[in-house]
Amino acid sequence: MAEKKPVQIVETVLRDAHQSLIATRMSTEQMLPIVDKMDKVGYHSVECWGGATFDASLRFLKEDPWDRLRKLRDGFKNTKLQMLFRGQNILGYRPYADDVVDYFVQKSISNGIDIIRIFDCLNDLRNLQEAVNATNKFKAQEGRGEAQVALAYTLGDAYTLEYWTSMAKKIEEMGADSICIKDMAGLLVPYKASELIKAMKEVTKLPIQLHTHYTSGVASMTYLKAVEAGVDVIDTAMSPFAMGTSQPATEVMVETFKGTPYDTGLDQNLLAEIADYFRPLREQWLESGLLSPKVMGVNIKTLLYQVPGGMLSNMVSQLKEMHAEDKYDEVLEEIPRVRKDFGEIPLVTPSSQIVGTQAVLNVVMGERYKTLTKEAKDMLVGKYGRTTVPVNAEIQKKALDSLGMKEPITYRPADDLEPSLAKFEKEMAQYKQQDEDVLSYALFPQVATEFFKYREAQQTGVDVTAANTENKTYPV
Ligand code: CO
């Protein structure tokens, strides 16, 4: 038998799986009872924080996300905790100043995060450097922390093997500990995965992880080929929250590699007990309608239009608001055009919302780019960073004129941003109960303020209305 090379598993049920399937509504209370068992599995890590969980905790569950992190850290004594981090955008939707990025990384690590998966929606590595530096700095101080840089996987003429391998080399040079290929829409097909992993393995010694979604129905085959090609770690979700717009099922991948050189060594009986815990939760959300059969099947359109699952559901609700649901197919077809005009960028938070909203406007207004959103203008003039291919010059000119700018920005966008922590501290001082509160406020001023008021009311025994459970879907 060939040399043993067990594939490692990142369990996503506490973050991406419920973000993808049930709009990030799993509460801390629903997570804690199973933590002990999950801690015994031997996962490479458990992804449990970041992405949309932060916003959703504050906004809908009326929970302090920092408190959730500390509770999970207490429970997971032997397992690394992982989070998803949007580069200079942190866990928000726009770039933040370096001092905020730095402090957020520090607090994430000191409250319990081991692995920070950092990505940028444009794959502009300049937007990742500050978060990587901060992770390395606090890793040295706290004795915990790993900087993982994730490349947003996308398709297009510019995205050749050469592109991905040159990015891998740069990531190694920038001081990252590992690389992730983040395929948020399930675009990576099995044989392409094989090619991609082999090529990347040739240029870097860093461990390579693969993250994909089941949306297009190929994900478990993609993992199989990627593992054969040498990928080190794959992201999976416990079966009750797997497949559809989520990840391949953990138990299925474990079984697939059993008795092969890639055997994960994970205990199928223990996994079955964990699945037994999550199954009734799945049933509960199916009954309430939060888990919709729509997100559970195969959607091959994702391969045609490259649209991540969360973006699709956002689009549907935008169209509903505008009473233009009949324009759905037209908007789907408009997305690749807008994406091309915007420099063939990956579609992932926040670029997915920016492109999606613009596509909706183009169709509903009946004229392309008649109206540009503020975010679209900023994207076109470089305020989110550098695109892989140049944006459409004509539309860029329109954006520049409307913003009163002569030229687009070519430097790192955050170079323009003044340190802002002190300002945030001042604004929210009356609500502060812990250092971390300023970070919640910096990212979501209104939502955090509402949460702080709710928290105070609860502490003083005032009757508070139940947490808002409005069904809003978050992008992945
Ligand atoms: Co994902």
Q: Ligand 1 centre from 31 Cα, in Å? A: 19
pLDDT at 305: 83
pLDDT band at 463 (very low <50, low <70, confident <90, very high): low
Q: How far is the CA of 221 from the centre of ligand 1 (A)?
A: 17
User: pLDDT per residue over 117-138, tens digit each?
Assistant: 999 999 999 999 999 999 999 9
Confidence of residue 430 (pLDDT cuts 50, 70, 90): very high
Are 78 and 114 within 8 A, CB to CB?
no
184 CA to centre of ligand 1 in angstroms:
5
pLDDT at res. 465: 56
pTM as predicted? 0.94
Mean pLDDT of 262-279: 98
230 burial level (CB within 10 Å; 0-12, 13-18, 19+): middle
pLDDT at 471: 41
pLDDT (0 to 100) of residue 342: 98
* 463: its two tokens: 């009757």
Give 310 Cα–ligand 1 centroid separation in angstroms.
10
In 3D space, the residue among 343, 342, 344, 337 whose CA is nearest the CA of residue 363 turns out to be: 337
Q: How far does the centroid of ligand 1 lie from the alpha carbon of residue 59, in Å?
A: 21
Give the model's pLDDT for residue 315.
82
Max CA distance (Å), the chain: 67
> Cβ neighbours of residue 409 under 8 Å, at least 6 residues apart?
381, 382, 383, 416
Looking at the chain, the whole-number percentage of residues with pLDDT higher than 90 is 87
* Distance from the alpha carbon of residue 15 to the mean position of ligand 1, in angstroms: 9
| 365 Cα: distance to centroid of ligand 1 (angstroms) | 32
Distance from residue 308's CA to the centre of ligand 1 (Å)? 9
Rounded to whole angstroms, the Cα distance separating 128 from 83 reads 15
Q: How far is the CA of 152 from the centre of ligand 1 (A)?
A: 10
CA 425–ligand 1 middle distance (angstroms): 32
Residue 17 CA to ligand 1 center (angstroms) comes to 8
**pLDDT for 476 beyond 50:** no
- At 1 the pLDDT is 54
In the chain, count H helices and then E strands.
Answer: 20, 8
Q: What gap in Å lies between CA 178 and CA 174, rounded to an integer?
A: 11
Q: How far is the CA of 452 from the centre of ligand 1 (A)?
A: 29
- Mean pLDDT, residues 47-60: 96
Determine the pLDDT at residue 310: 66
Q: Tell which residue, 425, 445, 420, has the closest CA to residue 435.
A: 425
Taking the centre of ligand 1 as the mean of its atom positions, its distance from the CA of residue 413, in whole angstroms, is 25
Angle subtended at Cα 13 by Cα 454 and Cα 219, rounded to the nearest 5 degrees: 135
CB 39 within 8 A of CB 445: no
Average pLDDT taken over every residue of the chain: 94
Ligand 1 centroid to 82 CA: how many Å? 13
User: What is the phi/psi pair of residue 76, to 5°?
Assistant: -85, 90
Distance 476 CA to ligand 1 centre (A): 6
Alpha helix segments (H runs only) across 289-436: 301-305, 309-321, 328-341, 351-364, 374-380, 393-403, 421-428
pLDDT of residue 309: 66
CA 266 to centroid of ligand 1, rounded, Å: 23
Q: Is the pLDDT of residue 475 over 60?
A: no
Number of other CB atoms surrounding residue 320 within 10 Å: 11
What is the average pLDDT across 101-115? 98
Lowest-confidence pick of 152-156, 169-173, 464-468: 464-468
Ligand 1 mean position, distance from CA 83 (Å): 11
CA of 211 from ligand 1 middle (Å) equals 7
Can you list the positions of beta strands (E) in 31-128? 45-50, 81-85, 115-119
